[in-house]
Amino acid sequence: QQQVKQSPQSLIVQKGGISIINCAYENTAFDYFPWYQQFPGKGPALLIAIRPDVSEKKEGRFTISFNKSAKQFSLHIMDSQPGDSATYFCAASKASGTYKYIFGTGTRLKVLA
Protein backbone atom coordinates (compact mmCIF):
# COMPACT_ATOMS: atom_id res chain seq x y z
CA GLN A 1 0.00 0.00 0.00
CA GLN A 2 2.81 2.37 0.83
CA GLN A 3 5.27 1.46 -1.91
CA VAL A 4 6.26 3.54 -4.89
CA LYS A 5 7.84 1.41 -7.61
CA GLN A 6 10.28 3.14 -9.94
CA SER A 7 11.86 1.96 -13.17
CA PRO A 8 14.31 1.66 -14.76
CA GLN A 9 17.07 1.45 -12.18
CA SER A 10 19.53 3.00 -14.62
CA LEU A 11 19.24 4.69 -17.98
CA ILE A 12 21.72 5.75 -20.64
CA VAL A 13 20.57 8.27 -23.23
CA GLN A 14 22.33 10.05 -26.05
CA LYS A 15 22.55 13.83 -25.91
CA GLY A 16 19.41 15.30 -27.42
CA GLY A 17 17.35 12.20 -26.74
CA ILE A 18 14.32 11.72 -24.50
CA SER A 19 14.75 10.23 -21.04
CA ILE A 20 11.69 8.51 -19.58
CA ILE A 21 11.39 7.32 -15.98
CA ASN A 22 8.29 5.60 -14.68
CA CYS A 23 6.70 5.26 -11.26
CA ALA A 24 3.68 3.38 -9.96
CA TYR A 25 1.93 3.75 -6.63
CA GLU A 26 -0.67 1.78 -4.73
CA ASN A 27 -2.21 4.09 -2.15
CA THR A 28 -5.11 5.98 -3.72
CA ALA A 29 -4.94 8.51 -0.88
CA PHE A 30 -1.75 9.98 -2.35
CA ASP A 31 -2.42 13.31 -4.00
CA TYR A 32 0.96 14.89 -4.53
CA PHE A 33 3.67 13.46 -6.78
CA PRO A 34 7.04 15.22 -6.93
CA TRP A 35 10.23 14.34 -8.76
CA TYR A 36 13.61 15.02 -7.21
CA GLN A 37 17.01 15.32 -8.87
CA GLN A 38 20.14 14.42 -6.92
CA PHE A 39 23.73 15.06 -7.95
CA PRO A 40 26.60 13.21 -6.23
CA GLY A 41 27.40 14.69 -2.83
CA LYS A 42 24.26 16.79 -2.77
CA GLY A 43 20.83 16.43 -1.25
CA PRO A 44 17.84 15.83 -3.53
CA ALA A 45 16.33 18.95 -5.08
CA LEU A 46 12.73 19.34 -6.20
CA LEU A 47 12.48 19.24 -9.98
CA ILE A 48 8.78 19.26 -10.75
CA ALA A 49 5.58 18.05 -9.09
CA ILE A 50 2.01 17.26 -10.06
CA ARG A 51 -1.35 16.83 -8.39
CA PRO A 52 -3.89 14.30 -9.71
CA ASP A 53 -6.32 16.89 -10.99
CA VAL A 54 -4.19 17.31 -14.15
CA SER A 55 -2.79 14.69 -16.51
CA GLU A 56 0.34 16.55 -17.52
CA LYS A 57 2.61 19.30 -16.27
CA LYS A 58 5.50 20.80 -18.18
CA GLU A 59 8.35 22.97 -16.97
CA GLY A 60 10.96 23.68 -19.59
CA ARG A 61 12.39 20.37 -20.81
CA PHE A 62 10.79 18.41 -17.96
CA THR A 63 7.28 16.96 -18.21
CA ILE A 64 5.29 14.83 -15.78
CA SER A 65 2.60 12.62 -17.26
CA PHE A 66 0.01 11.33 -14.78
CA ASN A 67 -2.44 8.45 -15.24
CA LYS A 68 -4.77 8.36 -12.25
CA SER A 69 -6.69 5.25 -13.28
CA ALA A 70 -3.48 3.27 -13.75
CA LYS A 71 -1.89 4.83 -10.66
CA GLN A 72 1.20 5.66 -12.67
CA PHE A 73 3.22 8.76 -13.39
CA SER A 74 6.32 9.39 -15.41
CA LEU A 75 9.04 11.97 -15.94
CA HIS A 76 10.06 12.89 -19.46
CA ILE A 77 13.26 14.84 -20.06
CA MET A 78 13.29 16.25 -23.57
CA ASP A 79 16.51 17.13 -25.37
CA SER A 80 18.53 15.43 -22.63
CA GLN A 81 21.87 17.04 -21.84
CA PRO A 82 25.02 15.72 -20.13
CA GLY A 83 24.24 18.12 -17.26
CA ASP A 84 21.05 16.14 -16.64
CA SER A 85 23.16 13.15 -15.57
CA ALA A 86 22.01 12.54 -12.00
CA THR A 87 19.84 10.26 -9.91
CA TYR A 88 16.11 10.90 -10.12
CA PHE A 89 13.62 9.96 -7.43
CA CYS A 90 9.87 9.98 -7.69
CA ALA A 91 7.81 10.35 -4.55
CA ALA A 92 4.22 10.31 -3.41
CA SER A 93 2.45 11.83 -0.45
CA LYS A 94 -0.71 13.36 0.78
CA ALA A 95 -0.66 17.11 0.19
CA SER A 96 -1.76 17.79 3.75
CA GLY A 97 -1.40 16.19 7.13
CA THR A 98 1.94 14.62 7.99
CA TYR A 99 3.54 15.50 4.64
CA LYS A 100 5.56 12.27 4.79
CA TYR A 101 6.91 11.28 1.42
CA ILE A 102 7.31 7.75 0.10
CA PHE A 103 10.26 7.73 -2.27
CA GLY A 104 10.87 5.47 -5.24
CA THR A 105 14.09 3.50 -5.50
CA GLY A 106 15.78 5.98 -7.83
CA THR A 107 16.96 6.00 -11.44
CA ARG A 108 20.55 6.77 -12.30
CA LEU A 109 20.54 8.68 -15.59
CA LYS A 110 23.62 9.12 -17.72
CA VAL A 111 23.45 11.33 -20.80
CA LEU A 112 26.25 10.73 -23.25
CA ALA A 113 27.84 13.72 -24.93
Partner 1 sequence: SAVISQKPSRDICQRGTSLTIQCQVDSQVTMMFWYRQQPGQSLTLIATANQGSEATYESGFVIDKFPISRPNLTFSTLTVSNMSPEDSSIYLCSGHSLNYGYTFGSGTRLTVV
- Which CB sits closer to partner 1, 91 or 111? 91
Binding mask 31-50 for partner 1 (x = CB under 8 A): -x-x-x----xxxxxx--x-
- Alpha-carbon gap, residue 61 to 67, rounded angstroms: 20
Q: How many residues bind partner 1 (CB under 8 A)?
A: 21
In our burial notation (b when 16+ CB lie closer than 10 A, e otherwise), range 5-20 reads ebeeeebebeeeeebb
Which residues of the shown chain bind partner 1 in the complex (CB under 8 A)? 32, 34, 36, 41-46, 49, 87, 89, 98-101, 103-106, 108
